[in-house]
Every structure is written in structure tokens, then in C-alpha cells.
Chain A
Amino acid sequence: MNPKELLYAKSHEWVKIEGDEAVVGISHFAQEQLGDLTFVELPQPGDQAEAGAEIGTVESVKAASEIYSPVSGEVTAVNTELENAPELVNKDAFGMGWLFKVRLSAAPEGLLDADAYAALCAAEAH
């Protein structure tokens, strides 16, 4: 369910580390909790991401939630497909529904592996 090669934040974002760059998204569990997404507000390339700080918003038919950056660094790219198709996050949270990329300024800290994250979700689902 939660890909093994990813790291996870307690606030339900995932991170894929590729050298000095990280791809960020929200987890399958997070999109399930939100329901059908209607809008994703993303940072701009060039913005500074700071681990634990707010960086965007996901809006669903039910609610709106902040996205917290799981890593620190400069935003290098954002998934512009989501502007017109936010439902990609519902369809494929770990793939086509990625949110943004960051050039890391520091090694990620305090993130969970897939098993620890699965345990967190199981606890939250009850």
C-alpha cells in the first residue's frame, strides 16, 4: 500500500529522495480521508520550503487541509497538471498526483519508513 522506497511525515506527506532532490506528495491514506479533491494550491518554483512549515493547501468537497513540507530546500518544480486535474491525487497519490520537487538544503529529519507510517495510519483510522 505505502511504497517501501518512500519516507513519510506524520502530517501525511510522502517524500521520494533522488540524490539532492526530493519529490513530495500526499499519501493514499490522506487523499482517502479528504475525499474527492477539488483544488490544490501549490508553491511557486523558487519558493523556500521549510520542514514542518505550511507550503500549500488541498481542498476537497468536504474540507481544506494545509500541506506541510516534509523537507527543507528550494522548490524546483510543481505539478501543473493538478491545476486542471486535482483528481490525479485521488487516482494516483504516489505517482501522477505528486505535488512539488525540492532541492534539499539539509538531510531530511524525523520522517517515518513505510511500516512506521502504516502503523500511524492504523492508529489514526480508529
Chain B
Amino acid sequence: MPFIPHTPAEQSEMLATVGVDSIEALFEDIPKKFRAAELNLPEGLSEMDVCQKLEKTAAKNHTDLTSFLGAGFYDHYIPSAVDALCSRGEFYTAYTPYQAEASQGMLQAIFEYQTAVARLLDLQYANASLYDGGTALYEAIMMAVRQNKRTRIVISESVNPIYRVMLDSYTSNLKLDLVTIPHRNCETDVDALLAALNDDTAAVIVQNPNFFGTIQDFTALFTKAREHKIVSIISTYPIMQSVLKTPGEMGADIAVAEGQSLGLPLSFGGPYLGIMACNKQLIRQMPGRIVGRTVDKTGKTGFVLTLQAREQHIRREKATSNICSNQALCALRALMYISLLGPQGLKKTAQTGIERAHYAANRLERLPGVHVLNQPFGNEFTVKLPVRAYEVIDKLLDYKFVPGFPLGRYYQGMDNHLLVACTEKTTKQCIGILAELIGGAL
């Protein structure tokens, strides 16, 4: 059976109702050049053939590698309870359950997620989540632009380059001026950022720890930004917030994060979780869903979507964003993960990753011509090698080791630089082998 919802008879009936005589006529408002000429799809296959084809393709993946890859996405341990709870049918639905009359449980779960995120980042409000960290960063910029009606965006080059590519793409048709301030030896150049701020600047954007792993305090930068009515945006790594100075403590206006590290598997790049929190003065600019707690007319506590007037189903032309959903299931996983670990567990997870990374840095520093470039760092650091990073990566793949992320991929003049990440899953034994292997590859 073809899984097509509309029969030809139904199609004709619908076309007749709207007063056109063909599908072609229905789409005539869309210029031909913008329409897909063909979908370039192969012929259909049987279920058995499809399964075999996919299994064959999946078998090409290396699932047995020892990986020191991070670069914004980290391989943390996920307690079994997360998968068990999350796969309950009540949660596993494509329907986004927002109707207060029918979905109190899910709405409360989202509300608790928002509370956890706001506490983790030390800001007043969080939304119900966005698609991923990069989308959250773009939406944060747009919040700033709407708030202060300016168009210049100052961003540090040490912000995740994958996000910066996304920002270029998202803003390519907008009248925004993105100014990128180079990093200084893997440090976010705060002096240069300060010098770049002016009264046309809508937002200043930094990341902590930055893409190279360096940890910094941006309190002075954010204070100066506030004096000029510039919105401060910080991109963060949620796991590290339990041990680092938080966005709230630094005085950031908006904090965004990739929530993958909170109980979501890496799974080849998604689905992930865009985390966003902000302070009260920006709440009406915050995109996406926001769940609030209220009381019904009999005084019983209940949960509802709130501040709806920002959303496109209320005032399309004034909506803060065309995002009209959230990553409810991923947000739920994050909430379960945070709840299962608790404050102490989160702290211990962060500290273990930091300890392992410092052990790895010490081991690698002993190798001839290898230098660790950043200080202080958390669970990720940059090493400069005496050879091209790709050379070492290629050699170590033979031993099923991925030593890290080649920074030359995004940064000019950094072909010899490798970004190495550890988590609580990285054993000292693996770090020892990594040091031996890199030593042998030089």
C-alpha cells in the first residue's frame, strides 16, 4: 500500500473546493525557479531490502573507537534510568503536548526543566528549549536586536566555529553586521572585545569555556556592555556550570548552551537540545515556548504555556521567532539526567572530566615538541604538535584511537593544533595509551 494520505479523488475534491483545477495551478504563486524540479529519489524498495541496505550502511561506522573528540559535543555517561523512563509511550510522541486541559504532566516536566536550567545558569528564566546550541545563539542575537534596535554584533572567534557558520547562514539575508574579534593564543581577547563595543552594538558574544577549552571570567566585559545598553550573550557548556563562575554571576543577560551533554547520546549529531535562559528585562523577547505555574479558579496549582503574545499563533507579524515548537523529549532527558545526578553528581562529573584532562595534558606535555597552549582549562585543552594534526589523527586511526579535533579545519594557521577532550568516561589507561601513540606518531 502506498502510504499517501490523499486519494486522487480526495485531491480533486480539495482542489475544486479551493477553486483550482490542478496541483500545478495550486502552486503557481511560487516562481518555477524556486520549486524542486525533481526530488532525485530512487525507486521504492521492500521492507527487507531497505533493512539490509541500512544495516550495510550502518556497518561502515566505526563504533569501537577510543575518542578524545569534544569541540562542543561530549561523550558523557548516561544513567540507564534515563533511557528507561524516556522511552515510556506517554513521552514518546510526535505530538507536542501543550494543552493545559490534557497535558498537565508534560507541562510540569517542561516547567521543572526550565527551573533546572535557570538554576544551573543562574538566570531568572529559561524557555522550554530550542533545536540546538547554534540555533539558541542565533535566537539570542535576535533578542538583542529587537531589544535595543541596533544591528552590530560583536562575537569572539573563540566561540564554537560551527555555531559561527550557522550564524552566518541564519543572518545572511538580514541587515546585521557581524564583527568577529580574533582570539589571542586560544584566549578570548577581552581587551579587543571591549575596544570593539560602541553605541551601535546590539550584542557581544563570548563562550566559556571557549572553543579551545580556555576558562575565563567575563564580568568586566559584561559590566561595560551594560553601560552601553549592549546585550551580553554567553555560550556555555552546561556540565561545567556546576564548578565554574556562572553566566548569572558574571552578569550576562542571556546564556545559551548545547544541552547534548545532559543525558543525550552523541548519535551522529542529533537530535540535540538548545538551552536558553535570560533575565527578566528580556523575557518578552525570548522565543519559543515558556511554561508557567499558575492556579485555577479553585486555587489548584496548574501549568500552562505563558507569555503567548510573543508567539506566532497570536501575532504572526510581531512574533519573536518562527520557532513554534521545542525539543520536548530531549529537554525531558536533560531534566531526568540532572535530577538523577543532582547537584553533587553534576559537580563530580565535571570535576572528574577536569582531572582526567589535566592528567592527559601533563602526559602530552612530556612529549618532545608538544605544548599545551591554554590555562586555565576544564575538560578540554589545545595542544600544539610538531607535525600536522591530521597526520597524527590518520596514524592513530589504525589503532582505533581518535586523539582529538584538528583545529586547522576552522582556524587558519592552526594546522598543527589538536583539541583534546576528556570526560568521566575517559580512563587513565586510555590516556596513557594516547600519550604513547602520539609519541610514536611524531
List B contacts of A39 (CB < 8 A): 284, 309
Which residues of B, 298-335, contact A by the 8 Å Cβ criterion?
307, 309, 314-315, 318
Size band of the B side of the interface? Answer: under 10
List B contacts of A59 (CB < 8 A): 309
List B contacts of A120 (CB < 8 A): none
List A contacts of B307 (CB < 8 A): 38
- Whole-angstrom distance between the Cβ of B147 and the nearest chain A Cβ: 12
The answer to whether B284 touches A63 (Cβ under 8 A) is no
Q: Does A64 contact B (CB under 8 A)?
A: yes
> CB-defined interface of A60-88 with B at 8 Å, one 1/0 digit per residue?
00011000000000000000000000000
List A contacts of B309 (CB < 8 A): 39, 57, 59, 63-64
- Whole-angstrom distance between the Cβ of B125 and the nearest chain A Cβ: 14
Count chain A CB atoms within 10 A of each CB in B284, B309, B318 and give the residue with the most.
B309
List B contacts of A63 (CB < 8 A): 309, 314
The docked-state distance in angstroms from the alpha carbon of A11 to that of B335 is 46
- Whole-angstrom distance between the Cβ of A83 and the nearest chain B Cβ: 10
- Whole-angstrom distance between the Cβ of B292 and the nearest chain A Cβ: 11
Which residue of B is nearest A59, CB measured? B309
List A contacts of B284 (CB < 8 A): 39, 41
Which residue of B is nearest A64, CB measured? B309
The docked-state distance in angstroms from the alpha carbon of A59 to that of B311 is 12
Which residues of B, 84-111, contact A by the 8 Å Cβ criterion?
none
The docked-state distance in angstroms from the alpha carbon of A41 to that of B318 is 13
Which residues of A, 6-53, contact B by the 8 Å Cβ criterion?
38-39, 41
List B contacts of A57 (CB < 8 A): 309, 318
The docked-state distance in angstroms from the alpha carbon of A106 to that of B49 is 78
- Whole-angstrom distance between the Cβ of B424 and the nearest chain A Cβ: 44
The docked-state distance in angstroms from the alpha carbon of A39 to that of B283 is 12
The docked-state distance in angstroms from the alpha carbon of A59 to that of B308 is 9
Which residues of B, 245-299, contact A by the 8 Å Cβ criterion?
284
Count chain B CB atoms within 10 A of each CB in A38, A41, A59 and give the residue with the most.
A59
- Whole-angstrom distance between the Cβ of A65 and the nearest chain B Cβ: 9
The docked-state distance in angstroms from the alpha carbon of A59 to that of B307 is 9
The docked-state distance in angstroms from the alpha carbon of A41 to that of B307 is 14
Count chain B CB atoms within 10 A of each CB in A38, A41, A64 and give the residue with the most.
A64
Which residue of A is nearest B318, CB measured? A64
The docked-state distance in angstroms from the alpha carbon of A64 to that of B284 is 12
List B contacts of A38 (CB < 8 A): 307
The docked-state distance in angstroms from the alpha carbon of A39 to that of B310 is 12
Which residue of A is nearest B309, CB measured? A64
The docked-state distance in angstroms from the alpha carbon of A38 to that of B307 is 9
List A contacts of B315 (CB < 8 A): 64
The docked-state distance in angstroms from the alpha carbon of A125 to that of B396 is 77
The docked-state distance in angstroms from the alpha carbon of A59 to that of B315 is 11
- Whole-angstrom distance between the Cβ of A123 and the nearest chain B Cβ: 25
List B contacts of A64 (CB < 8 A): 309, 314-315, 318
The docked-state distance in angstroms from the alpha carbon of A91 to that of B233 is 38
- Whole-angstrom distance between the Cβ of B220 and the nearest chain A Cβ: 29
List A contacts of B314 (CB < 8 A): 63-64
The docked-state distance in angstroms from the alpha carbon of A41 to that of B285 is 12
The docked-state distance in angstroms from the alpha carbon of A64 to that of B318 is 10
- Whole-angstrom distance between the Cβ of A69 and the nearest chain B Cβ: 17
The docked-state distance in angstroms from the alpha carbon of A91 to that of B91 is 43
The docked-state distance in angstroms from the alpha carbon of A64 to that of B315 is 7
List B contacts of A41 (CB < 8 A): 284
**What are 13 A-B pairs at a CB distance below 8 A?**
A38-B307, A39-B284, A39-B309, A41-B284, A57-B309, A57-B318, A59-B309, A63-B309, A63-B314, A64-B309, A64-B314, A64-B315, A64-B318
Chain B residues close to A by CB (< 8 Å)? 284, 307, 309, 314-315, 318
Chain A residues close to B by CB (< 8 Å)? 38-39, 41, 57, 59, 63-64
Q: Beyond A41-B284, A64-B309, A64-B314: 10 further Cβ-contacts under 8 Å?
A: A38-B307, A39-B284, A39-B309, A57-B309, A57-B318, A59-B309, A63-B309, A63-B314, A64-B315, A64-B318
Q: Give the 8 A-B CB pairs with smallest separation, nearest first.
A: A64-B309, A59-B309, A64-B315, A64-B314, A63-B314, A39-B284, A63-B309, A64-B318
